[in-house]
């Protein structure tokens, strides 16, 4: 093993380690729109996008609006032999909230409403000031780290598939009709996916660092 040498901050910042396999690479300026990959394991290192910061914030804000719409408008209505019932997203996951099933309802609300909202909020908090040219807000680094950590736990898109399966399962017993909130939710899943493809981790952190120092 080579003897460890002391690097200066500038030397360190000129290097980048692959997050998946730890291989060191020289940090090169990647043209906007293309991406650089690890030589050894092919993990994407950077993928800068043009004016991504503004677009990410706009998409995150759109996501928040869609989530509010999904909460307010009717989500599903059910009809069976004269009985009919309308429900919102919250009704759909919280109506059955007694006894041992309460944790299930709470977990569902967390995965499809609370954590996605928290994640969108954290992204907006961390990036919005920079998107309009200001220095990042206090705690922006922590907010963005939170947004990264929450990624696997925000499950809006999986919930959409769950609703589709539920529609088929109940088809023989009752008629389920989907309302506008369902479409708001589907759009939300799409917006979040688009936002994640635009968000290049290294670029965001680099910008956070530069703006904090200036």
Residues 38-77 that bind Zn ion (CB under 5 A): 38, 40-41, 43
Token digits of residue 16: 């980048």
107 binds another protein per the rule CB under 8 A: yes
Least Cα distance to 84 among 74, 94, 93 occurs for: 74
Please tell me whether residue 105 adopts helix, strand or coil conformation.
Answer: helix
Closest separation between CB of residue 180 and another protein, Å? 17
78 binds another protein per the rule CB under 8 A: yes
101 binds another protein per the rule CB under 8 A: yes
Token digits of residue 23: 């291989």
Q: 193 is in the binding site of which of Zn ion, another protein, none (Cβ under 5 to 8 A by kind)?
A: none
200 binds another protein per the rule CB under 8 A: no
Least Cα distance to 209 among 146, 145, 141, 122 occurs for: 141
**Cα 30 to Cα 28: distance, rounded to the nearest angstrom:** 6
Nearer to another protein, 61 or 118 (CB): 118
7 binds another protein per the rule CB under 8 A: yes
**Cα 78 to Cα 129: distance, rounded to the nearest angstrom:** 44
180 binds another protein per the rule CB under 8 A: no
35 binds another protein per the rule CB under 8 A: no
Can you tell me which of 57, 76, 186, 199 binds another protein, judged by CB under 8 A? Answer: 76
Closest separation between CB of residue 176 and another protein, Å? 8
Task: Give the position of tokens 């500038």.
Answer: 10
Please tell me whether residue 210 adopts helix, strand or coil conformation.
Answer: helix
Tell which positions 2-41 bind Zn ion, by CB under 5 A. 18, 20-21, 23, 38, 40-41
Q: Which helix (H) or strand (E) holds 48?
A: none
């Amino acid at each position: 093993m080579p003897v460890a040498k002391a690097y200066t901050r500038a030397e360190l910042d000129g290097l980048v380690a692959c997050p998946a396999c730890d291989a060191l690479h020289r940090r090169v300026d990647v043209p906007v729109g293309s991406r650089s990959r690890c030589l050894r394991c092919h993990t994407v290192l950077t993928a800068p996008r043009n004016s991504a910061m503004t677009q990410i914030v706009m998409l995150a804000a759109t996501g928040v609006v869609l989530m509010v719409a999904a909460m307010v408008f009717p989500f599903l209505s059910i009809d069976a032999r004269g009985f009919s019932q309308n429900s919102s997203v919250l009704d759909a996951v919280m109506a059955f909230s007694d006894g041992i099933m309460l944790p299930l309802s709470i977990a569902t609300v967390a995965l499809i409403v609370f954590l996605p909202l928290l994640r969108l909020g954290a992204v907006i908090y961390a990036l919005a000031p920079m998107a309009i040219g200001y220095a990042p807000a206090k705690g922006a680094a922590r907010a963005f780290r939170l947004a990264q950590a929450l990624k696997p736990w925000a499950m809006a898109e999986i919930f959409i598939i769950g609703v589709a399966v539920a529609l088929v399962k109940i088809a023989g017993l009752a008629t389920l009709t989907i309302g506008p909130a369902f479409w708001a939710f589907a759009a939300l899943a799409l917006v979040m996916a688009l936002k994640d493809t635009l968000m290049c981790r290294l670029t965001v952190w680099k910008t956070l660092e530069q703006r904090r120092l200036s």
